[in-house]
Structure formats: C-alpha cells, structure tokens
A and B are shown apart, each in its own frame.
Chain A
C-alpha cells in the first residue's frame, strides 16, 4: 500500500469526493493508447495466428483469410517441415546466445562496478561515462560500427593479426564454436561430422546441429550486445554496492578477509536482489534479440543467427505468412514467461536462514529502486 493511501484513508471527506471522476479522466489517455495499441493488437494477432492470411487477402477481421485452427502452431512445434526446422534453428541459436550473453554481461557488469567502486580510484566519473556511453546509443547506429569492425579485413582481425592470430571472416562464418573447439582437439572432423550425430536428430535438426554451439557470426553479435548492455547493469550494481553499509565492509576486513573473499562472502550476498534483477532483465532482453541481427547478419550465414523474433518478422513481412509469424511471436512470449518463472523459482530465497550469520542488517532493497540518483552520481 502506498504512503498516500495510508495517510488518506481516514480522511475520506468531502474534500476527496470528486476524485472518482477526475481519476478516470486522468487515466483515460493511458487507457485509450495502451488499449488501442497494445491490448487490442495482441487480440488481433491471436486471431491472425489462427489464419492462413496475407496482406493481399483483405481484412482478416472481416472474414478474409482461411481459418486453420492451431495449424500454424503445429507447423512450428510438431509437424515435420521447413517451418519447424527454421523455428527450431532459431530456438537453438537464441538459446546459446542467452546461455552465453546473460552470464558474461552480468559478470562484466559486476567487474566494472567493482572497479568503479574501488576506494582508491581517481577519475571515477570519467570511467563510468566511458562504460555507460555505449548503452545510450541507438542499436542500429552501433551495429553499423560493429559491422565495420568485424568484416573480414576489418579492425578486429587487424588487432588479432598483431598478436599472431588470423581471425575468421566473422559475419559470414556459419561454423559452430563447439565444432571448431572439438575439431581443434581432434575429437571430430568438422568437414565430415560423425554419422551417429549427423544422421539422427530431434525436432527437425540433427544432433550435430543442436550441439553446434553459437556460430562464429553469432559470437560477433554477442560481443556487441555484451559491450552495449554491461554499462547499464554496471550502474545498477554500483547503486546497490553504495547501499551496503560500510560497517559490514570494515567488519570483514577486521576479520582478515582478503579482497576476493570479501567480495565472494560479503559483497555478493548483499547484491543478491540486484543480481536477480539484472539476470531477469538480461534473460528477458536476450530472448528478444532483433535489431543487431537485422543490421549485422540478417539471420545468416546458414541461418545460424536467426532468432525467433527475427524469424517472426521475416516470416510475416517478407514471407507474407502472417499466421505463422504471429504464432512464432506467441510461442516466444510463452518461452520468455516460462524462463522468467523458472529463474524466479531457482533463485528464490531458499537459503535465507543459513545466510543469517553473514549479517543481513537491513531488508534487501526493493526490486525496482527509485531516487537513487543522488547517491550514485559522485
């Protein structure tokens, strides 16, 4: 219950009697816009996902298109065919992307925050600006810069050349990273994959394809995203770190904890709520990767950077399969919701009692911090 409610409840006087009408008038623009451009369109898309429809058929809400029931969903999940193969490929690509980007961006953000927060650091504001700036730029503009850096004869490979590596042709290399690693240690030959893996599979993809790992092209997209998002998450960690009472730090030092021990046993447990928030936001955002792929790789090479979001866009706008595209959106929606719920369950505070000895002196900050600005800006 908000502060205002607590104060206002006993005074339900004549003074506030006209608030009912005003309340609805105040929220009416919100209702109209969110209703018209969010709730209504979702319902429309649910309907279209049950149709075989393209834009030349006419108005789908006046009977145009063919009603096909759940066929569009079946094509993605059950029936054999290109639709399922593409969708499963996109799921594979995105799953590897999530599995690598979320931990790496979180770890990097935590590292940056620790560095920024180091007591003896001078020029803190300058470094914070440098790390944060990429986060506020346009995803399209920054993707363009990264295409330039990652082309075959581009800057990244020049730098790798200085230290004696010859870099791959990043944006056009479809080889899975796991393949390359296994090939390097001599376990498999990338050009003639073991028959047992290549000839059998599930859901339209061979085991060899499922276990490919992210393609080289996808790793370039991943580097871009980790580089741009770490700054924002860094700020959230810095804010939380500054909320840790100084006594806890001092107590740990007095007890003789080293820097690493202190971080692991004292700082990190205190950061648990914000860590949870960062992981959740990361998970939700990474399942939606779209802009960077559209600019950098358009789903290629060999569909290895296809993501469900990008696939739903091309299926509809390029392929004119609007029912299929809409169905992909809703399956993606379900995936994101499920992942968020699973994560919530995994990270629930099951071990809270055990941690008491670590001295939780104050309740964890609210999941969505407000008015932190004055403390963060140093």
Chain B
C-alpha cells in the first residue's frame, strides 16, 4: 500500500468512527422511543425493538393510562413562543440594527456600546433578576412574561448592524431624494437587500426560542405555561422521574427536536452562517 492511500484509509476510518459517535445517540433515541420499558432497560443499545411498542406516543398524546405528560399543550406553548419571539426579533432587531448602522442621531455611538455591553452579560446571571422583574410587573406566569423579554436580542441587533454596514449608502440616497421617508426607505429599499441576514436571524431566533429553557424556567410555574423544555425537565421530577420510563422521555425529547431538525436540514447554510456571525452569543 502506498503511503498516500494509507493516509486516506486512516482519514476515512477516523472520520467515520467519530461520525458514528456523533450520530449514535440519536439513532438509539429513535429506536428506544418505540420499545417497551423493560426492553429499553435491558437492551439499551439494540436498534431492534422487541416487541415494537407505541405506548410512549400514546401516553404523549393522552391516549395512555397516564395524564402527566401534556405534550400537545407543551408543543402549542413552544410554538406560540417561537412564532412571536421570531417575528418580534426579526422586526425589532432590524429596526435597531438599521438605526445603529445608518441613521445619524445623537447618542448612537453610546447606544452601540451599550448593546455590546449587554452582549457580554452572561445569561445565567440573569435568572434571578428576570424572576424579580416579572414578579414586580405582574408578568410572572403569563405569555407576556414568556415572550416579551425575548423579543429583542442584542446578538441579533449586532448581526443586523454588521450587515447594514456592508450596504452602500448610495442605494438609499436615491430613494431619499425621491422624497421617501426614513421608514419607507428602510422598509422598501434597504430591508429587501438584507434577505440573507434576515433569513439567518429568523432561523437563529426560531431555534433559540424553541430551545429556550432557563428563561421559561424562571418565568413560569405550574402546568399551564409549560413549554417543551420545561415540560421535559419536569419529567425528571415527580411521577415519571422515579419510574424510569425512558421510552416515554426519549420519545418526547425526539418529537421536541423534530421542528428544529427540519429547519436545520432545509436551511443548513443559514445555520453555518449563524454559527459564524452569531458567535457573538456567549
């Protein structure tokens, strides 16, 4: 064997082995979700359920003999949050990003520095502060409290500002000379040119808000406002926590992952862009 083909074999062996480690947990998850409890416990690695069981999915959707997994409600709540947060972020982050990049007004530079400062505040430090303010404003355990604090994010503003910076001013100047107002110019001339950035921001916002856990944990209590993340976390305390119902837990986790997975496979390029542009998210 020549040295060249030897290194090639080595390269492929290594990368395939690592890829198996990265994919295996998901494959095992899918297989386990259709197993019975005893089968899942005694054959945790087998990819062939014996016997095949849809018990976990029946329980999730309320057809089983348990009622502590209100999956449809969790899914609905997560959807509501993700839709409002995504729409809000895309609109408000673009507005702020545009102003910080383009408009001449007193205090702009200071505001941009403030956005950078906000970016550097570690998220978990805000757990208790957020709870305090939601209690104080009466937004605790409401949809408002779940959505409003997430509806603007500094990282998104930063991404949009950077993108607006790359668009030459001459393009909007023409519109302004024709008498279009500031908002009009922003909305119909500049914004359509930022489609790639908007798409990236939309996807990052959807993924971020769908997966949001800590904010929901401190903003809500009780079953009505549970999202998928807080609902799943609840599975580890209480009735199910002690009885290791892994097929059920893994099935919930799997279905909770599917929406983001679909978006990921359709828009993978945007995620890749986001991982680089969005690396500002600490």
Contact = CB atoms under 8 A, between A and B. Distances in A.
Interface residues of A, number: 108
Given A48-B132, A137-B211, A332 B125 contact: yes
A20 B106 contact: yes
Contact of B182 (A22, A60, A290, A322): A22
Contact of B136 (A59, A130, A136, A235): A59
Most A CB contacts (10 A, CB to CB) among B128, B168, B232 go to B128
Interface in B119-172: 121-133, 135-137, 148-149, 151-152, 154, 157-159, 162-166, 168-170
A15 B176 contact: yes
Contacts, number: 331
Query: How many residues of B sit at the interface, in one of the four size bands?
Result: 35 or more
B277 A372 contact: yes
A309 B165 CA distance: 37
A141 B253 contact: yes
Contacts of B162: 368, 370
Nearest to B203: A136
A23 B96 CA distance: 8
A33 B149 contact: yes
Contacts of B202: none
Contacts of A60: 132
Given A140-B229, A154-B44, A332-B122, A312 B128 contact: yes
B25 A145 contact: yes
A308 to B, nearest CB: 9
A373 B272 contact: yes
A158 interface: yes
Contacts of A34: 115, 118, 152, 154
B45 A158 contact: yes
A377 B104 contact: no
B109 to A, nearest CB: 10
Interface string B218-262: 100000000011001101100000001010011011101100110
Interface in B1-53: 7-8, 11-12, 14-15, 18-19, 21-23, 25-26, 28-29, 32, 40-42, 44-45
Interface string A273-292: 00001000100110110110
Given A121-B11, A371-B277, A131 B213 contact: no
B71 interface: no
Given A285-B282, A288-B124, A148 B148 contact: no
Interface of B is mostly: helix
A112 to B, nearest CB: 7
Nearest to B100: A27
Given A148-B44, A277-B279, A312-B128, A26 B96 contact: yes
A61 interface: yes
A58 B264 CA distance: 46
A19 B44 contact: no
Contacts of B132: 41, 44-45, 48, 60, 322
A137 B261 contact: yes
A31 B220 CA distance: 24
B173 interface: yes
B92 interface: yes
B279 A131 contact: no
Interface stretch (A3-11, A99-107, A177-185, A354-362): A3-11
B123 A236 contact: no
A290 to B, nearest CB: 5
Contacts of B186: 26
B93 to A, nearest CB: 8
B270 A373 contact: yes
Contacts of B176: 15-16
Interface stretch (A213-221, A262-270, A323-331): A323-331
B152 A20 contact: no
Contacts of B18: 112, 115, 131
A232 B275 contact: yes
B253 A144 contact: yes
A8 B269 CA distance: 33
A27 B236 contact: no
A4 B101 contact: yes
B165 A4 contact: yes
A129 B47 CA distance: 22
A120 to B, nearest CB: 6
Given A26-B95, A121-B11, A235-B272, A18 B182 contact: yes
Contacts of B228: 138, 140-141
B214 A290 contact: yes
28 contacts: A3-B169, A23-B103, A24-B107, A30-B96, A31-B111, A33-B152, A37-B130, A38-B121, A41-B129, A121-B12, A127-B19, A129-B268, A134-B22, A136-B261, A141-B229, A142-B25, A147-B236, A148-B44, A153-B41, A155-B28, A235-B272, A281-B282, A294-B217, A317-B218, A332-B122, A336-B122, A368-B277, A376-B272
Given A115-B11, A120-B8, A142-B253, 10 more contacts: A2-B165, A19-B182, A29-B151, A30-B93, A41-B130, A136-B260, A309-B127, A326-B129, A333-B122, A369-B279
Ordered nearest first, which 10 A-B pairs have the shortest CB separation?
A23-B105, A373-B273, A41-B129, A26-B99, A37-B149, A141-B253, A23-B103, A22-B182, A45-B129, A41-B133
Interface of B: 7-8, 11-12, 14-15, 18-19, 21-23, 25-26, 28-29, 32, 40-42, 44-45, 92-93, 95-96, 98-108, 111, 115, 118, 121-133, 135-137, 148-149, 151-152, 154, 157-159, 162-166, 168-170, 173, 176-177, 181-183, 186, 196, 200, 207, 210-211, 213-214, 217-218, 228-229, 232-233, 235-236, 244, 246, 249-250, 252-254, 256-257, 260-261, 264-265, 268-273, 275-277, 279-280, 282
